[in-house]
Amino acid sequence: MNLLEAAVAAALVAILGVAALGASASALHAAGGNPVRDALRAAARNELRMALDVLKYQGATLVSRSATTALPLPSATTVPVRLDLAVIGAPDGSTRAVVTATALASGERVTLAATLAARAPLPGSTVIVPALAPAPTGAP
């Protein structure tokens, strides 16, 4: 084996070693998660759930809003975030709610959305369906 072959073999071993270290670091990061992103996702999911709970009834309205707050992290620190809610009505009667949580320090962002196809009547209300009842068959 000459010097050139040895250099190529050493370079290949180094490249494979760096690739293996990169893959293991990526796997460790994925297993550990991203605490800021996890906190943003949890906050957006919670806000979207509350917005859908309000919007599910006929006559309920929410206006698009922004709020700034701090979310707790597992490391006993907090991260300042802005929560944005957008409510969009569609011509077909459906309602779309979009919540975006943005970390103010890093600019990291999570957006969640859901669409309500139809709204339910208020609890305890009487719903009268305008329809004719079919005549019974076999009546004299």
Q: What is the pLDDT of residues 11-37, one digit of tens each?
A: 666 676 666 666 555 555 555 678 999
Same domain, 90 and 50: yes
Domain co-membership, 14 together with 78: no
Question: Does 129 reside within a domain?
Answer: no
Over residues 55-99, the pLDDT tens digits come to 888 888 888 899 999 999 888 899 999 999 999 988 888 889 999
pLDDT at res. 75: 85
Tell me how far apart the alpha carbons of residues 84 and 67 are, in angstroms, rounded to a whole number: 7
The pLDDT of residue 26 is: 56
**What does the alpha-carbon distance between residue 50 and residue 46 come to, in Å, rounded to a whole number?**
6
Number of structural domains the chain divides into: 2
The reply to whether 93 falls in a domain is: yes
Domain hosting residue 16, numbered range: 1-32
DSSP sequence for 85-109: EEEEE-TTS-EEEEEEEEETTT--E
